[in-house]
Structure 1
Amino acid sequence: MSRDSTASLSTGSGRRDFLAAASVVLSGSLAGCSGVFAAEDDQVNVAGSSTVFPVTEAISSAFSEENPTVNVSLSKTGTGGGFGNFFCAGRTDVNNASREIADAEVEQCGNNGITPLEFPIATDALTVVVNPNADWIDCLTVEQLQEIWRADGAQNWSDINEEWPDQEFELYGAATTSGTFDYFNEAVLGEEFNHTSEYYATERDRTIVQGVQGSEAAMGYFGFAYYSENPDSIKAVAIDDGDGCVEPSTETAKSGEYTPLSRPLFIYIAKESLTEPAVRDFARFYMERAATDLVSEVGYVPITEEQRDENLEKLEAAIEEVTE
């Protein structure tokens, strides 16, 4: 398939993936949300980043075991899609986010009477992956990544290195509603370049895994958790940011060696939703568990105990304000 034809799939696949994602819930469905705030006494609604999804899913499962009467609804909509369509529209209580909230999103929330509270919950090593049979590639410089992923950039592998195959790239990446897209754009392409539109765009990271598994010429990028689930069927590419090739891992993300693709992950909680006991309980539980091996087990770096305590202090102050 040519890159021109993959470009035509970008918008359509994003729409299909959004509709499919809305049905991916831990329990319950966002479709039934109504009113200014979605929370009920026994309901917590969460949407947003597919990158943060594995962390929230794991913590939600542990929470549900201890709180079986609380219904936690969890959906993948992308960071931007979560903010714009759900959280700032008053339809969810929590938004998973692989980037910080944008000024326009803060304004949208404010216009709807919603106060977003930011909590860092993990560190990710955003990972570039290729097919295991692509034995010519183990490491890329940031400049080479720019050439592959920028608009009007390289078309074939041989455009990057003449010793590499004269095969056209088959690219898989995050949809434009994704915080991963935003972060990759900022960290790799910067202000100088625009992200190519000639790629398979999706909010479903496992679709990227399947695409890369299926083609020797493929490349994709997503959160480290999705690579750590599939280390034998896809290959992670080391990144050279000027100091040599560094492989993505929880260790290199934690140490700061893996640049420029190490990034903080967040959840945002609507302050107004903290009037609901279920949301308060869920938020406290989340902050405690974000500093544990539960985060490590899904492939990310947990927050430190100091960060956990800062999160809890911020959370308790907000709870006190809305419950006085």
Structure 2
Amino acid sequence: MKKWKYLTMTAALGSALLLGACGSETETETEQGTTTGSEANEPADTGEAQLTGSVSGDGSSTVAPITEALVEEYGAVQSGVQVSVGVSGTGGGFEKFIAGETDFSNASRPIKEEEKAKLEEAGIDYTEFQVAFDGLTVVVNPENDWATELTVDQLKQIWIEDGSTKKWSDIDPSWPDEEIVFYSPGTDSGTYDYFDEVILEGEALVKSATLSEDDNVLVQGVAADKNAIGFFGYAYYLENQDKLTAVSVDGVAPTNETIESGEYTPLSRPLFVYAKNSALKENEAFYDFMKYTLENAGAMAEAVGYVKLPDEKYQEGLTTLEGLK
């Protein structure tokens, strides 16, 4: 998994939370996610009450940059708590959540009715917390100077399977007579689900698309082919904007302002964390991590390239969390 650059970390959180506050912290990165903790016996001197324990989560690759940044910074505050986060996609994360394998599940879409039913059947009560806004971003290769502004109808024409081999000239006769190369999040991804809902409207995605739960694979694919098009979360675009071009949709480009205002429609969306209620009550470390998440998610979302919620939304979340203790 790639290491995320924090765009404005110092300004967002202040030097008291920087990783340097806990020089003994280590991080292990695997294909499944990120685990942080400390090998030191001495807790970091942060003035906070020190806890021990473990917390586990999984889910959306879109939410992952926010959570991974929070996990890393939380390690400087509570070095005795080990927080592990996998990235199986929204759907894959909910599968683990339903199976009782995780304390929380990251999601780039609201939970589905069938997932709610399975959680109820499993006897798992949960609470939904919204942590940020995202703008699902359609991208093309920088050499593509013809499809930088698309309408929703054109996106449908491009992405919906119709049995043909699609060329750019099929969308507009003045565009190149070249086959379109597609890159899409995998079907376990909440980003895929959201695109399916608002663009495909339940129709099948083009069969020729390369699917991956790893958004970095999608970035590399589009960056390497002038005829490629793809989509993923806004933060992944910002992290790679030197090698990608963001497409305007119905005349509106994805920016912090257009995403927060809802002007970037229909591709603006909220991002969520779903927390297991019993774990919040029984695992003090998890409760503390969720409290830290809601207190810092806004600044961290901005730091990694997403859009924070209004402050009152985080306060509402904290009030809800307090009621679950």
Determine if the TM-score, normalized by the shorter chain, exceeds 0.5: yes
Out of 198, 201, 210, the residue aligned to residue 220 of structure 2 is: 210
Q: Deviations over 1:75-129 (max 9, x none)?
A: 1100001101x11110000101000011111111122221121001000010000
Contact preservation (8 Å) 1:21, 1:76: no
Does the alignment pair 1:303 with 2:309? Answer: yes
Q: SS at 2:120's partner residue?
A: helix
Q: Quote the Cα distance in structure 2 between the aligned partners of 1:21 and 1:77.
A: 12
Q: Quote the Cα distance in structure 2 between the aligned partners of 1:77 and 1:41.
A: 26
Which residues in structure 2 correspond to 1:120-269 (within 5 Å)?
120-152=130-162, 155-191=166-202, 193-240=203-250, 245-269=251-275
Tell me the equivalent position of 1:34.
none
Does the alignment pair 1:282 with 2:289? Answer: yes
Tell me the equivalent position of 1:26.
35
Q: SS at 2:304's partner residue?
A: coil
Q: SS at 1:291's partner residue?
A: helix
Q: Quote the Cα distance in structure 1 between the aligned partners of 2:111 and 2:231.
A: 21
Larger CA deviation: 153-162 vs 261-270: 153-162
Structure 2 residues without counterparts, runs of 5 or longer? 1-28, 38-50
Q: Quote the Cα distance in structure 2 between the aligned partners of 1:116 and 1:62.
A: 25
Out of 311, 317, 320, the residue aligned to residue 314 of structure 1 is: 320
Larger CA deviation: 212-221 vs 106-115: 106-115
Q: Quote the Cα distance in structure 1 between the aligned partners of 2:31 and 2:310.
A: 32
Q: SS at 2:143's partner residue?
A: coil
Tell me the equivalent position of 1:49.
60
Q: Quote the Cα distance in structure 1 between the aligned partners of 2:30 and 2:128.
A: 24
Q: Quote the Cα distance in structure 2 between the aligned partners of 1:21 and 1:97.
A: 20
Q: Quote the Cα distance in structure 1 between the aligned partners of 2:68 and 2:30.
A: 14
Contact preservation (8 Å) 1:146, 1:189: yes
Does the alignment pair 1:90 with 2:100? Answer: yes
Q: SS at 2:35's partner residue?
A: coil
Structure 1 residues without counterparts, runs of 5 or longer? 1-19, 29-39, 320-324
Contact preservation (8 Å) 1:21, 1:77: no
CA positional deviation for 1:154: 6.5
CA RMSD of aligned residues (A): 1.6
Q: SS at 1:246's partner residue?
A: coil
Q: Quote the Cα distance in structure 2 between the aligned partners of 1:43 and 1:137.
A: 47
Q: SS at 1:173's partner residue?
A: strand
Tell me the equivalent position of 1:102.
112
Q: Quote the Cα distance in structure 1 between the aligned partners of 2:204 and 2:126.
A: 29
The one-letter code of the counterpart of 1:284 is K
Q: Quote the Cα distance in structure 2 between the aligned partners of 1:115 and 1:141.
A: 41
Q: Deviations over 1:155-195 (max 9, x none)?
A: 0111001111111111001111110001001111224x322
Q: Quote the Cα distance in structure 1 between the aligned partners of 2:249 and 2:172.
A: 16
Q: Deviations over 1:9-35 (max 9, x none)?
A: xxxxxxxxxxx975332338xxxxxxx
Tell me the equivalent position of 2:276.
270
The one-letter code of the counterpart of 1:64 is G
Q: Quote the Cα distance in structure 2 between the aligned partners of 1:255 and 1:154.
A: 37
